[in-house]
Amino acid sequence: MRTEAGRYPGRRLAAILRRRPRLRLTLLLTAPLLWLTVLYLGSLTVLFVSAFWTTDSFTSQVVKVWSTDNFHALLTTPVHRQVVLRSVVVALAVTVLCAVLAFPVAFYTARVAPPRRRPLLVAAILTPLWASYLVKVYAWRLILSEGGLADWMLAPFGLRGPGYGLPATVLTLTYLWLPYMILPLHTALEQVPDGLLDASADLGARPGRTFRSVVLPLVLPSAAAGSVFTFSLSLGDYITVQIVGGKTQLIGNLVYSHIDLDLPMAAALGTVPVAVIVLYLLAIRRTGALDNL
Amino acid sequence: MRLIRTPRAAAFCAAALLLTTACGSSGSGGSSATGLHPPALKAPAELGRTEGRVNLIAWAGYVEDGSNDPGADWVSGFEKRTGCQVRSKVAASSDEMVKLMKTGAYDAVSASGDASLRLIASGDAAPVNTGLVPNYKDVFEGLKHGAWNSVDGRMYGIPHGRGANLLMYDTAKVTPAPTSWSAVFDDAARHKGHVTAYDSPIYIADAALYLKARRPELGIKNPYALDRKQFDAAVALLKRQNEYVGEYWSDYLKEVSAFKSGDSVVGTTWQVIANLAASEGAKVKALVPKEGSTGWSDTWMVSSKAKHPNCAYKWLDWIVSPKVNAQVAEYFGEAPANSRACAETTDKNFCAVYHAADEDYWQKIAFWNTPIEQCLDGRRDVTCVPYAEWVRAWTEIKG
C-alpha cells in the first residue's frame, strides 16, 4: 500500500518549493538561461571580440592585439560592400517571392479546401522538409543545367532557363524556404473568423476590399514571422549559391573563404548578417507586426 | 629598413629566409646550402618498439579503413601487421594541416607543398631518416630531394604522390583543340559563360604561369614569387577572365556534372575529374598546355613532437609500399610515388595515364608553394606579395 510514507520526500520537496518562489524560479530557469547566455550570447560575444584581433600573415596564427583594421577593411573595400548589398537584396527577393507564392497556397489550404483534406495538404507542404537540403539543391542544379528540365520546358516558348547565377540562387532559396512562409500564413488564415468576412461582404465590400481591410491586417503578423525565417535563412546561406550560383558570392562565402587563414576577418564579416538581422527585426517591430505574436 | 627588435620577429625572418633558400632552387636538384638552417632536429638513428597507436592528419582519401568505401581499405592491414591502431583526422586545407600540427597531438601528416615548408621552418616537422623506410629506395628520383620536401639535402618526409592541374575541354564544342592556356584567358570570350576555373587563391599562380610565357617583359620566373607589378597583372587577367567564367569549382563532382551537362566547356581540371567525366559520357580531353602547368606534390612528414614515432615510421613505410601506394593512388586519382606501384595497380594502364614515370612531363609542372614576402625565386631587390594578399585578391576577382 502506498500511503503518506511513500510520497513523503516528494511532498516535502513540494512544500519547500511552495514556500520559496525564488528557488522555484531558479530551478526552472537555470538551464535555459545558461544555454542562452553561455552558448548563444557567449558565442556571439566571442565572435564580436575576435573580430578586433589580427592575424600573422606568415603563420596565419591569430594575434590577440586590439585593432579595428578588420572593420575598416570591411567598410572601405568595395567588394565587401557589394557582396553585403547583394546578399541583402537576395534575402529580400526571396522573402517577397515566398510571401507572394505562399499566400494563395495558404488561402487554399486554410479556407477553400474541404476541411477533411486540410491536414493532408499541410503534410504535403511539409514533405519537402523531410528530404535533405543538399539533395534538393543538387536537384535544382540538374533542373537548371544546360539543356536541363528548365530549358526543355521553356523551349516551346522560345525561352531558355536562367542558367546558374543570381536568379537561380533566388529561385532555389525560394523553393527551400517556402514552407516556412506557408505554415504561419496557413495558421493565421485558419483563425480568421468567418463572421468577419461575411460582415465585410454584407457591408458591400468587394473581395479586394475585404482582402485589404480585413484579411491582410489579420495575417500580417504571421507574414512577418514567416519573413523572419525566410530572410535570415537566405542571408546566412552559402551552400546553395555555391551549387547553383555560378560565380556569385554572398556574405557567407566570404566568411567561409577567410575562416582558415584569417579568422578575425571572418568574424568581422560574420557580424554583418547579425547586424542586418537585428536591423530587420527592429524594422519589423516598428510596423507593429510583432506585437500580437 | 626596419630594425628587428623582438625575438619573435627575428624568428619570423629566419624562417622566411630559410624558406627562400629552400625554395630558391626550382626543380628537383636539391636546395642550395647557403643561408640559415631549420631548427636543429635529429632524425632517429634506429627504430624502437612500436607504441600501439598512431595519430595522422591526412587529405580525404589518403587514410581509408573501408568505412567510406568497402573497396578502399589499407588501414586494417597496417593495424594487423604492426599492431599500431590508426586514428586519422581529415584536414580540408593546407592551413588546417599546419594548424593541427602545431597542437603536437599528431604523429604524421600528408602535407602538400604549400604546407610542408612552413612545417619545416617552424620546427613542427622533423627530418626523416630515410634508411628506416625500406620502401623509400623505390620512390621516383624526381620526387626525392625536392625543393618542397628537403633542406640542404636532408629529406623531411616520404613522397606520397603527385598530380597536375590540366586544361580540360569539351571536344565537340571547343574547336580547334586548344594547346595553350589562352583558351581560358585571352580567348575565353569565345565560350562566354562556359569557362570554369579552380576556386582557390592559389589559382592566381595559373594566371602568372600563363603570363610568364605570354608577357616575358613582366619577368615572371616562378608563379609563386610575384612582385607587385607581376601580381597586379595576374589579378587583372583574372578579373577579365571572370566576365567569361560560368562557375568556379572546388568540389570535383560539381565540375564533372558541369562538363557532362555542357554548362562548362573549357577550364582547369585534375586527371581524376577528366577520367570520371569521360567515363560518365562527357566528350572531354585533358592536357598540359604548352606553357606548362601548376600541380601538387604531397609528402608524409613526421611531427617533431610525435608521441608514437615508431608507429609513424611504420606508417610512412606502409603508405609508400608498392601495393598500398598503388591502391591509394588509384582511389585518389594521382600518380603514385613508388616506382614499383605501377605493377600493382588494378588498371594496368594507370601509370601511363597519370604519367607516373614520365619525368619530362613533371619538368613542366610548377608544384604548389606558399607565396611569402621574400621572393621564392631568389630576387632580393623587391618584396613579393604574400599569400594573405592572394586570398584578399581572390575575393575581389570573384566580385
What are the mean pLDDT values of chain B's consecutive 10-residue runs (399 residues total)? 34 39 34 49 87 92 85 92 93 81 92 84 89 93 86 90 93 92 94 92 94 93 93 96 92 87 92 86 92 92 94 95 93 91 90 89 87 81 87 90
Q: Is A205 exposed, middle or buried (0-12, 13-18, 19+ CB in 10 A)?
A: middle
E strand or H helix at A55:
strand A54-55
Residue A240, all three cell numbers: 546553395
Residue A109 belongs to a domain:
yes
* Chain A residues within 8 A of B251 when measuring between CB atoms: 242
Domain-embedded: residue B395: no
Does residue A63 fall inside a structural domain? no
Residue B261: closest C-alpha in chain A? A146
Which residues are within 8 A (CB) of A215 and not within 5 positions of it... i.e. 6 or more apart? A189, A192, A197
Look at residue A292 in the predicted model and tell me its pLDDT: 57
- B206 and B266: one domain? yes
Residue B349, classified by CB atoms within 10 Å of its CB into exposed (0-12), middle (13-18) or buried (19+), is exposed
User: Considering the domain boundaries, does residue B27 fall inside one?
Assistant: no
Q: What is the pLDDT of residue A60?
A: 63
Q: From CA A81, how far away is CA A63, in angstroms rounded?
A: 26
Residue of A nearest to B15 (CA): A58
- pLDDT for position A7: 60
| SS3 state of residue B56 | strand
Give the pLDDT confidence score for residue B30 in this predicted structure: 34
B320's grid cell: 609508400
Q: Is residue A56 part of a domain?
A: no
Question: C-alpha B336: how far from its chain's center?
Answer: 13
Cβ atoms of B226 and B208 within 8 Å: the answer is: yes
Strand B125-126 and strand B85-90: the pairing is unpaired
Q: What is the pTM of this model?
A: 0.79
Domain count, chain B: 2
Same domain assignment for residues B174 and B258: yes
**The pLDDT of residue B318:** 95
Among A165, A179, A171, A175, which Cα is nearest to A243's? A165
pLDDT for the residue numbered B37: 54
Read off the C-alpha cell for B289.
598546355
For residue A147, which residues of chain B lie inside 8 Å, CB to CB? 261-262
At residue A17, the pLDDT reads 85
- Can you give the length of chain B in residues? 399
Residues A97 and A237 in one domain: yes
| Number of independent structural domains in chain A | 2
Are the C-beta atoms of B332 and B79 separated by less than 8 Å? no
Considering the domain boundaries, does residue B28 fall inside one? no
pLDDT of residue B268: 94
Contact B114, B287 (CB under 8 A): no
Q: Could you count the other beta carbons within 10 Å of the beta carbon of residue B122?
A: 19
State whether A79 and B395 contact (CB < 8 Å).
Answer: yes
Which residue in A58, A64, A80, A257 has the most chain B C-beta atoms within 10 A of its own C-beta, making it the best mutation to test that interface? A58
Stretches in chain A below the pLDDT threshold 50: 1, 5
Query: B267 and chain A: CB distance < 8 Å anywhere?
Result: no
Do B170 and B223 belong together in one domain?
yes
d(C-alpha B160, C-alpha B142), whole Å: 12
Residue B12 touches partner A, C-beta closer than 8 Å: yes
Q: How far is CA B173 from the centre of its chain?
A: 31
**Secondary structure of residue A91 in the 3-state scheme:** helix
Q: What pLDDT sits at residue A1?
A: 47
Per-residue b or e along B13-22, where b marks 16 or more CB atoms closer than 10 Å to that residue's CB: ebbbebbbbb
Chain A residues whose C-beta is within 8 A of a chain B C-beta are 55-60, 77, 79, 82, 141-142, 145-148, 163-164, 242-243, 245-247, 249, 254, 257-258, 260-262
Q: Is residue A291 part of a domain?
A: no
Task: Tell if the CB–CB gap between B399 and A55 is shorter than 8 Å.
Answer: no
Peptide bond into A32 cis (omega under 30): no
- What is chain A's length? 293
**A60 part of a folded domain:** no
Q: Say yes or no: B238 and B173 in one domain.
A: yes
CB-CB neighbors (< 8 A) of B96 in chain A: 260
Residue B58 in domain = yes
Measured between beta carbons, the chain A residues lying within 8 angstroms of B254 are 243
Q: How many CB pairs under 8 A join A and B?
A: 78
CB spacing of B387 vs A261 below 8 angstroms: yes
Q: Domain span at residue B168?
A: 163-294
What pLDDT score does A258 carry?
84
User: Does B168 share its domain with B265?
Assistant: yes
> Are residues A100 and A18 both part of a single domain?
no
Write the single-letter amino acid at A40: Y
User: What CATH number did the domain enclosing A254 receive?
Assistant: 1.10.3720.10
Please indicate, yes or no, if residue A61 is contained in any of the structural domains.
no
Contact between A257 and B399 using a beta-carbon 8 Å cutoff: no
Task: Please judge whether A258 and B391 are an interchain contact, meaning their C-beta atoms are less than 8 angstroms apart.
Answer: yes
